[in-house]
Amino acid sequence: MEEATWEKQFPVTGQGTILYNSHQSEPFKLVITKHNTQKHISLEVSRFGASFSIQRDDEEDSTQTLVEKGGESVGYDPHHKITYWFSYDRDNLTLAYGKGMKNAFRIHSQS
């Protein structure tokens, strides 16, 4: 699997939304990292589900799954080009993921 990487800061520190337009035919992962550390929040999307994970310290094996949700409506759609989105709000402790219009479907975690 070819890995695409790009770096962009959220316009407001600690919050923002990432939109990803794609005709996705295989699982994908979005990773939000803290500069110069291993700490990150990730969203993994498979064909039939999605999950959020967090790594709070710099140890490789310290990743914790926050929430998982299954079902074809949650995973990627191999038949259409779709906008996938990921939203992060540090102040309200909220992660959200969806497909299509921003509030059409979402899984979220408040940890």
Q: What is the pLDDT of residue 91?
A: 82
Going from N- to C-terminal start, the domains of the chain cover 15-109
Cα–Cα dist 111/107, whole Å = 13
Neighbours of 95 (CB within 10 A): 23
Cα–Cα dist 48/50, whole Å = 7
Residue written as token pair 């990921």: 86
* pLDDT over threshold 60, residue 110: no
Q: Which of residues 95 and 7 earns the better pLDDT score?
A: 95
- pLDDT, mean over the chain: 77
CA angle 11, 7, 63 (to 5 degrees): 100
At residue 60 the predicted structure's pLDDT band, cuts being 50, 70 and 90, is: low
Mean pLDDT to the nearest integer, 42-59? 85
* pLDDT over threshold 80, residue 34: no
Question: What string of H, E and C letters represents the secondary structure of 52-95?
Answer: EEEECCCCHHHEEEEEEEECCCCCCCCCCCEEEEEEEECCCCEE
| pLDDT tens, position by position, 65-103 | 888 888 778 888 899 888 888 888 878 878 888 888 755
